[in-house]
A and B are shown apart, each in its own frame.
Chain A
Amino acid sequence: MKILTVCGNGIGSSLMLAMKIEEICKEEGIQADVESIDFNSAQGKDVDLIVTVKELAEQFEHKDVAVVRSYINKKKIKEDILEIIRAKANQ
């Protein structure tokens, strides 16, 4: 599955989030291709799941947006999106 992590620039927070999600997927044995990207470029992308924070999620019309409370706290990220990723991976 393809996951995009999004922040304003695609090079700071979203890159940290992408690294955390990669770690989580690896630990959970989920095959995922995780890429970080800036908000504007993310709009037209065709992916399985977009992951971002609340402020930015509200601005997406894409239907598959998952919200994390933190870009760096692995425990919170896991709580917020692991089930969503698992569900997607099993589709």
Chain B
Amino acid sequence: MIQKLFTDQTVAVDIEVKSWEEAVRYGGAMLVDAGNTDKNYIDAMVQNIQKMGQYIVIAPGLAMPHARPEYGVKKIGMSLVRLKNPVPFGNEEYDPVDILIFICAIDQTTHITALAELMILIEDEPFLAAVRNGMTKNEIISYIQNKDFTVKDD
């Protein structure tokens, strides 16, 4: 199902920001413009990082900002932002961040499916390397659309 979530409106590359907060607000605004959530959600994601720390940086250079559904989420959405210049989030292990994947979830069931698929995507190291090596926006979208996200149950 996540193939449908990454579109022309929700993928952006070579975005220039000066801070982690600016990066989070940028990706959040894409989800607002795409109709997935209210503006409240952007503030909630920023506050979440301010309060709970930098654990949303989940892998080297990769952050996954998100907040709880009650902050204005209308429908499930994800967005991907590649920064032109990496910014630090204050995470000792995985800073600085150059790829951000934003999530807004509405209900637990669809969310679990989407998240399991997202995990397949972020464990796809050749994909992340290609994104970092200058994949274009359209290449990113078509890569995700053509990827097999069947969860292997072994």
A residues near B (Cβ < 8 Å) are 7-13, 15-16, 19, 38-39, 53, 55-56, 69-73
Neighbour of B55 across the interface among A10, A11, A56, CB < 8 A: A56
B116 and A19 contacting across the interface, CB-CB below 8 Å? yes
Inter-chain contacts of A15 with B (CB < 8 A): 111-112, 115
Given contacts A56-B55, A72-B59, contact A19 B119 (CB under 8 A): yes
Docked CA distance A42–B27 (Å): 29
B residues near A (Cβ < 8 Å) are 48, 51-56, 58-59, 64, 66-69, 93, 103, 105, 108, 111-112, 115-116, 119, 122-123
Q: How far is the CB of B140 from chain A (nearest CB, A)?
A: 20
A73 and B59 contacting across the interface, CB-CB below 8 Å? yes
Neighbour of B103 across the interface among A12, A38, A69, CB < 8 A: A12
Docked CA distance A89–B1 (Å): 36
* Residue of B whose beta carbon sits closest to that of A74: B123
Inter-chain pairs besides A55-B54, A70-B59, A72-B59, 9 sampled, C-beta below 8 Å: A7-B52, A7-B55, A9-B67, A12-B66, A13-B56, A13-B58, A55-B55, A56-B53, A72-B58
Neighbour of A56 across the interface among B52, B122, B123, CB < 8 A: B52
Main secondary structure of the interface of B (DSSP, over half): mixed
Inter-chain contacts of B58 with A (CB < 8 A): 13, 16, 70-72
A38 and B55 contacting across the interface, CB-CB below 8 Å? no
Neighbour of B68 across the interface among A16, A38, A72, A73, CB < 8 A: A38
Neighbour of A11 across the interface among B52, B59, B69, B123, CB < 8 A: B69
Most chain B CB atoms below 10 A, which of A7, A8, A71, A73: A8
Complex A-B: 8 CB contacts under 8 Å: A7-B52, A7-B55, A12-B56, A15-B111, A19-B115, A69-B93, A70-B58, A72-B119
Inter-chain contacts of B103 with A (CB < 8 A): 12
A39 and B115 contacting across the interface, CB-CB below 8 Å? no
Q: How far is the CB of A87 from chain B (nearest CB, A)?
A: 25
10 nearest A-B pairs in the assembled complex, by CB-CB distance: A8-B52, A55-B53, A12-B66, A53-B55, A9-B68, A8-B48, A71-B58, A72-B58, A11-B105, A15-B115
